[in-house]
Amino acid sequence: MNDKTFPPLWADAVQAGFPSPAEHYIERELDLNDFLASNRDAVYYVRVAGESMIGANIFPGDILCVDRSLDFFDGAIIVASIDGGFTVKYLRKNGNRTYFEPANANFKPIYFTPGQDVRFWGVVTGVVRKINYAQQRRHINEPQLPATQVISNNNPGIRLNGTREKYQEKLGGK
């Protein structure tokens, strides 16, 4: 293992519905290779171009984690080459016929023909996506804290109700 420091991974999930009053704490540092890859020596990352997999939540610009050590199976999203051109699609098998299926109705399945050079390069095990906010974004100020709430002098706007101090302590290794 190298000496790189990885960002922390919270042990509690962030609520996508109603906010949770649960106290958050650090589970461990997050290394995306450990999270996405079952076999680091067999993993590579590739950037997506095109829209054939948007129905599988894979968009242009996303980065795919691809594992070459996994077995291929019906329904796996794989990276493959067809006559030297690379693609990412669902791998499908129907009877004796194997083909690639896009996740966008605007694209047709790719059926293999005799003489084609088709090579499977690995199974997609994860997607990394950076959120790119528009240049026209408008800043919104945080809600004002009640007068009885204590605010940290070091971090204006940080509520000192115990949760964030514990988070800061765990980040600092205390």
The predicted model gives 51-76 an average pLDDT of: 94
Cβ atoms within 10 Å, residue 77: 19
Cβ atoms within 10 Å, residue 112: 13
Side-chain-facing half-sphere of 115: CA atoms under 13 Å: 0
Residue ranges per domain, the chain? 40-128
Residue 27 has pLDDT above 90, yes or no: no
20/24 Cα distance (integer angstroms): 10
Residue 160 has pLDDT above 60, yes or no: no
How confident is residue 137, by pLDDT bands cut at 50, 70 and 90?
Answer: confident
SS3 at position 8 = strand
* Cα angle: 36, vertex 73, 65; to 5 degrees: 20
How confident is residue 41, by pLDDT bands cut at 50, 70 and 90?
Answer: confident
When comparing pLDDT for 152 and 109, which is higher? 109
How confident is residue 12, by pLDDT bands cut at 50, 70 and 90?
Answer: low
Confidence (pLDDT) at 15? 52
Number of helices followed by number of strands (H, E) in the chain: 2, 9
Token pair 């109700």 is found at 161
Residue 96 has pLDDT above 80, yes or no: yes
Residue 37 has pLDDT above 90, yes or no: no
Token digits for 123?
Answer: 């199974």
| Ordered alpha helix ranges (H), the chain | 32-36, 163-171
Domain covering 40-128 assigned CATH 2.60.40.1180 in the classification: no
From 17-21, 29-33, 112-116, 161-165, the region with the lowest mean pLDDT: 17-21
Instruction: List, by residue number, the catalytic residues.
Output: 52, 89
3-state secondary structure string, 2-70? Answer: CCCCCCEEECCCCCCCCCCCCCCCEEEECCHHHHHCCCHHHEEEEECCCCCCHHHCCCCCCEEEEECCC
Confidence (pLDDT) at 1? 46
Percentage of the chain exceeding pLDDT 70: 66
Closest C-alpha among 10, 35, 23 to residue 128:
35
The predicted model gives 83-110 an average pLDDT of: 95
Q: Which amino acid is at 96?
A: N
